Amino acid sequence: MHILLVADGRSPITRRWVGALAALQHQVSLISSFPCNEPEGVSALHVMPVAFAGLGGSQIRVARGSSSRRSRQLVSRFRSIFLLGRYYLGPLSLPFYTRRFRRLVSEIKPDLVHALRIPFEGMLASQTPASIPLAVSIWGNDLTYHARGSPWMKAYTLRTLRRADGLLADAHRDIRLVQMWGFSPDRPALVVPGGAGIDLAEMHHLRAKFAESFADLLPAGVPMVVNPRGFRPGSVRNDVFFQAIPLVLERKPKVFFVCTAMAGQAEAQRWVQQLKLEGHIRLLPFLLQPQLWDLFERSNVFVSVSAHDGTPNSFLEGIACGCFPVVGDIESLREWVTPGVNGFLVEPDKPQALADALVVALDNPDLLAGASEKNLQIIRQRAEAGLVRAQIEIFYQRLAGLASTSPTTIL
């Protein structure tokens, strides 16, 4: 089968999905919403920077010119304003790409189109001709946050869901919510990890190559807490994370904090200076996946203070590497975490609650060891790559079969 992915080509999740489809022996073409290098395994790459995507993405590393770097620095500095502007102006940019998108689909002739999230890739892919089945993946904040960003975001989200022949989500919550947004319950739906599963053997093999990546950057022999989420306005409450750090250090002064995708980020630097955290925290750049896995292996606790989220791929990778998760108390993560057994859930707007959970976790090595074993078992039962790929293949085949007998119309 020839699959056309519409996705952010820079994203590790996109590249993992390409690898999964290649393992299933599908041909993969990619329309990337951001400028990127061609991922391995893609037979054709096209870039279509909808919603001013060429200006964004300050947290993902890709070769750029100096003028592009300056634009990204401005976006980083005024991230919330830029996001609001995309909510209002981004959807209005979509009609300018419709003709080109349809022409590319006509030239590529895919058997199936798959958009890896709703804004703005799914919105663009909603223009897929009715004769070609369309699958759309939902990210955890597509419905609960982004769709409410403006009247145009809501309208295009509705259009996308009405056009989709099948839906993939990384949380059962979204399958429930999506039917309230116009997705027919009669159409195929699948709940699988958004990164197409966790390959434990690959993680172990590649992680070993980066065993010395942090030898000179991180202290040895101290408890370590990792926050790998970067800045995601409205979704991840990193303000709460930073405010919790002094509260932890009052009781456990040797704890060291590591944040990825925050090096050079003005917001992170302001928090470090304001709270006098120098010497207790390291702001790292965007990491290669094996480097991130190695960092998880070295860390005791994984933190993600999510207010809007699905099942982050970094969460699954973190617990697969033995990190104890302390995450936002939201519906999607309750599907994975039993408090006090394999992690902690905290109210995402309360620094003291986060600090208390971190201290309890770090004071209980037996709890961390038991949770590590339980979480590895959960990964093998629910998120292992081979299992997920088999589910994806069945889903694709069902979708292609249904679409051939029941053409879709755009509403």
Sign (positive/negative) of CA torsion 155, 156, 160, 163? positive
114 and 227 share a domain? no
How many CB atoms are closer than 10 A to CB 404?
11
15 and 164 share a domain? yes
Q: Name residue 12's amino acid.
A: P
Residue 350 included in any domain: yes
Chunked into runs of 10 residues, the chain (411 residues) has average pLDDT values of 97 94 96 94 96 60 47 53 80 94 97 97 97 94 90 95 95 91 90 94 84 75 95 89 98 97 93 96 93 93 94 96 97 97 97 98 98 98 97 96 54 34
The sheet carrying 301-304 orders its strands as 281-283, 256-259, 224-227, 301-304, 324-328, 344-346
pLDDT of residue 411: 34
302 and 188 share a domain? no
- What is the spatial distance between Cα 94 and Cα 314, in angstroms, rounded to a whole number? 30
169 and 190 share a domain? yes
187 and 209 share a domain? no
318 and 284 share a domain? yes
Residue 209 included in any domain: yes
pLDDT of residue 208: 77
Closest C-alpha among 79, 135, 69, 170 to residue 398: 135
145 and 283 share a domain? no
pLDDT of residue 234: 76
pLDDT of residue 52: 79
Residue 411 included in any domain: no
- What is the spatial distance between Cα 327 and Cα 320, in angstroms, rounded to a whole number? 15
Residue 298 included in any domain: yes
| Total number of domains constituting the chain | 2
3-class secondary-structure state, position 225: strand
Cα distance between the two ends of the chain: 27
189 and 215 share a domain? no
Residue 410 included in any domain: no
Closest C-alpha among 346, 371, 372, 369 to residue 357: 346
Burial 293-321 (b: 16+ CB within 10 A, else e): bbbbbbbbbbbbbbbbbbbbbbbbbbbbb
393 and 284 share a domain? no
Residue 43 included in any domain: yes
Residue 206 included in any domain: yes
Full domain range(s) for residue 78 = 2-197+384-405
Sign (positive/negative) of CA torsion 225, 231, 232, 233? positive
- What is the spatial distance between Cα 343 and Cα 340, in angstroms, rounded to a whole number? 6
190 and 224 share a domain? no
228 and 372 share a domain? yes
Contact 30, 5 (CB under 8 A): yes
The sheet carrying 27-32 orders its strands as 44-47, 27-32, 2-7, 112-115, 134-138, 166-169, 189-191
53 and 188 share a domain? yes
Q: Where on the phi/psi map is residue 264: left (φ > 0), alpha (ψ -120 to 50), or beta?
A: left
pLDDT of residue 69: 52
Q: Who contacts 373 (Cβ-Cβ below 8 Å, separation ≥6)? A: none
Residue 272 included in any domain: yes
- State the CATH number of the domain containing residue 180: 3.40.50.2000
pLDDT of residue 404: 57
